Amino acid sequence: MPRAYIIILLDEEISRTPNHDAGIAAMSISMVAYDEGLGSCILGAVEREKLREILKVPEFLAVALVVALGYPAENPVVEPVKDGDIKYWLDENGVLHVPKRNLKDIVRWNE
């Protein structure tokens, strides 16, 4: 259960690349959180209008992303993707397995 949420707001009148900026901010927050021993999850699937109402976000600011923060309760294991399946799974001991594609499978080189 997250202990805190950071809502990243965009003033779209002052940047022409607002979504890039929000992504950079979210990533920076996650990395600093990790360095401080916190877990994080970047959330894009949020109820923006509800958040706006609850937090009284003025109209000129757009709700871009949310970063949930908390003390990690799991020790997930990163492992290579098998048979193209990237779904996370829990084993019988409650360990979360997180399949990741290999770098060589996602990097493309010019001729």
Only segment of 3-11, 43-51, 54-62, 102-110 that touches ligand FMN (CB under 6 A):
43-51
Is 86 a residue that touches ligand FMN (CB under 6 A)?
no
Sign of CA dihedral 19, 26, 28, 84: negative
- Which lies closer to ligand FMN via its Cβ, residue 82 or residue 111? 82
What is the gyration radius of the CA atoms in the chain, in angstroms? 18
Instruction: Give Cβ neighbours of residue 106 (< 8 Å, ≥ 6 apart).
Output: none
Is 42 a residue that touches ligand FMN (CB under 6 A)?
yes
- Which lies closer to ligand FMN via its Cβ, residue 61 or residue 69? 69
Is 7 a residue that touches ligand FMN (CB under 6 A)?
no
Among 12, 20, 34, 44, binds ligand FMN (CB under 6 A): 44
For 41, how many CA atoms within 13 A lie in the half-sphere containing its CB? Answer: 12
In whole angstroms, give the CA distance from residue 64 to residue 82. Answer: 33
Q: How many residues form the binding site for ligand FMN (CB under 6 A)?
A: 7
Is 43 a residue that touches ligand FMN (CB under 6 A)?
yes
Enumerate binding residues for ligand FMN (CB under 6 A).
41-45, 65, 98
